[in-house]
Amino acid sequence: MIYSKIIGTGSYLPAKVLTNYDLEKIVDTSHDWIVSRSGIVERHIAADDELTSDLALQASRKAIAAAGISADEIDLVIVATTSPDQLFPSTACILQDKLGIKSRGPAFDIQAVCGGFVYALNTADMYIKGGQAKTALVVGAEVLSRMLDWSDRTTCVLFGDGAGAVILSASDKPGIAASKLHADGSHRDMLKAEGNIRNGEVDGDPFIKMDGQAVFKFAVKVLSDVVDELLEEKGMSGSEINWLVPHQANIRIIEATSKKIGLSMDNVIVTVANHGNTSAASIPLALDTAVRDGRIQAGQNILIEAVGGGFTWGAVLIKW
């Protein structure tokens, strides 16, 4: 039996920090409002000349070093992003080149918004279990700051830039134990950036728009449902989960979901205060933090879950 196992993690946050106090000078908001409604204290903003692939490159180099492999061993590159460098080629192809990867396995992006990393990890797992790849680089990377209307206080306070990466390797020992993915496009108006390019012009509104309260309710419901679905399939209870690593959108969504699945916040990795909602990057950022500070240990049961525009949502259970 071939399993896929995470053998290295890495993450990167741009140097420029934008605090809630900085935002008070841009829009009519306050540090206290943002912290009480979202748990976010600060976010990082990419430099003008930093692209999504540059953030991905920094995180990937750290993951490759942590895994102790050479970049040439990577035979699959998947980048989950909603803010690619350009319309095409994919950010994954650009990243493959920037890393100097010589092997010519597939490289492609996955667009599932905040659900992107869960989708990407599941896809890489299928490649490895199916024998089509041995060593996969799976990245979530975003420069969402460029998709924000900085005069809209209902969105601009919530998002940030960053990247996280994992190396997934074929193994004879259990790693990724189960995954569940879902999508429902009928809810696509709840969270969207409608703009596109037509005849050389931006066609439609290119900024992120969101019905915050509707997203909140939907997120808590589908996240707790998908976790229940996964645990039931594996015959496990919430108490057997050592660490929940949720999508870092909002502390209130994280707390409400943990409560619904009966998991203490002592078993939840929370990093949203330091980087805000980095969409597809948020789970690998949180994972890397908890691996490097020693909370996540070999043999533990790790559950990751995410929901994002589309809507897309899913969960992955990992034996670390």
H helices, E strands: number in the chain: 10, 15
Q: Among residues 7, 16, 24, 29, which is the contact residue for ligand ACO, using CB under 6 A? A: 29
Taking the C-alpha atoms of residue 285 and residue 289, their distance in angstroms, rounded to an integer, is 6
**Should residue 190 be labelled a site residue for ligand ACO when binding is judged by CB under 6 A?**
no
Q: In this complex, which beta carbon is closest to ligand ACO, that of residue 93 or of residue 156?
A: 156
Residue nearest to ligand ACO (CB): 212
Q: Among residues 8, 116, 308, 310, which is the contact residue for ligand ACO, using CB under 6 A? A: 308
In one letter, which amino acid is 276? G
The token pair that represents 144 in the structure block: 């969402």
Helix (H, G, I), strand (E, B) or coil at 32: helix
In one letter, which amino acid is 7? I
**Should residue 154 be labelled a site residue for ligand ACO when binding is judged by CB under 6 A?**
yes
Q: How far apart are the first and last CA of the chain?
A: 17
**Should residue 157 be labelled a site residue for ligand ACO when binding is judged by CB under 6 A?**
yes
CA Rg value for the chain: 18
Q: Which residues participate in catalysis according to the annotation?
A: 114, 247, 277
Q: In this complex, which beta carbon is closest to ligand ACO, that of residue 189 or of residue 232?
A: 189
Q: Which stretch binds ligand ACO (CB under 6 A): 78-86, 104-112, 122-130, 249-257?
A: 249-257
Is the CB of residue 227 less than 8 Å from the CB of residue 256?
A: no
Q: Report which of 306, 304, 289 is spatially closest to residue 164, judged by C-alpha positions.
A: 289
Q: Which stretch binds ligand ACO (CB under 6 A): 160-168, 170-178, 206-214, 237-245?
A: 206-214
Q: In this complex, which beta carbon is closest to ligand ACO, that of residue 81 or of residue 96?
A: 81
Q: Which of residues 70-129 bind ligand ACO (CB under 6 A)?
A: 114
Q: Which of residues 214-233 bind ligand ACO (CB under 6 A)?
A: 215-216, 219
Q: In this complex, which beta carbon is closest to ligand ACO, that of residue 57 or of residue 118?
A: 118
Q: Among residues 212, 255, 256, 295, which is the contact residue for ligand ACO, using CB under 6 A? A: 212
The token pair that represents 224 in the structure block: 């707790």
Is the CB of residue 75 less than 8 Å from the CB of residue 92?
A: no
Q: In this complex, which beta carbon is closest to ligand ACO, that of residue 77 or of residue 158?
A: 158
**Should residue 307 be labelled a site residue for ligand ACO when binding is judged by CB under 6 A?**
yes
Beta bridge partners of 110: 80
Q: Which stretch binds ligand ACO (CB under 6 A): 53-61, 88-96, 207-215, 266-274?
A: 207-215
Minimum distance of ligand ACO from residue 105's CB (angstroms): 30
**Should residue 153 be labelled a site residue for ligand ACO when binding is judged by CB under 6 A?**
yes
Q: Which of residues 275-304 bind ligand ACO (CB under 6 A)?
A: 277
Residue 266: CB partners within 8 Å, gap ≥ 6?
none
Q: Is 157 exposed, middle or buried (0-12, 13-18, 19+ CB in 10 A)?
A: buried
CB neighbourhood size of 87 (10 A) = 8
Q: In this complex, which beta carbon is closest to ligand ACO, that of residue 133 or of residue 269?
A: 269
List of E strands, 66-184? 76-80, 107-110, 135-143, 161-171, 176-183
Q: Report which of 100, 316, 139, 157 is spatially closest to residue 227, judged by C-alpha positions.
A: 316
Residue 300: CB partners within 8 Å, gap ≥ 6?
242, 243, 319, 320
Give the residues lining the site for ligand ACO (CB under 6 A).
Answer: 29, 33, 37-38, 114, 153-154, 157-158, 191, 210, 212-213, 215-216, 219, 249-250, 252-253, 277, 307-308
